[in-house]
Amino acid sequence: MKKENIMVPKPRSAFLSVQCEKCGEKAIVFSHTTTNINCKSCGELLAERSGGLANIYGKVLGALDE
């Protein structure tokens, strides 16, 4: 088997651009975060850790590309 033919799996996690519902501030959050993420301007909870995929409470604008 040639090295060019080996498939590389894509990760299931990504960095997400999230907008705060309360003040509209944008933040970048990891999809499988291990800590709670709060908005820097108003303190609203944006992402809560859950042991796997994080619970996102803001508006997800999209995933960041590599």
For the record, the structure tokens of 34 come out as 């291990």
For the record, the structure tokens of 1 come out as 């088997």
Name residue 57's amino acid: Y
- The answer on whether 9 is annotated among ligand-binding residues is no
CA separation, residue 37 to residues 6, 42, 56 (Å): 37, 12, 9
- The answer on whether 44 is annotated among ligand-binding residues is no
- The answer on whether 23 is annotated among ligand-binding residues is yes
- The answer on whether 42 is annotated among ligand-binding residues is yes
Which parts are annotated binding residues?
A: 20, 23, 39, 42
Which parts are annotated binding residues for Zn(2+)?
A: 20, 23, 39, 42
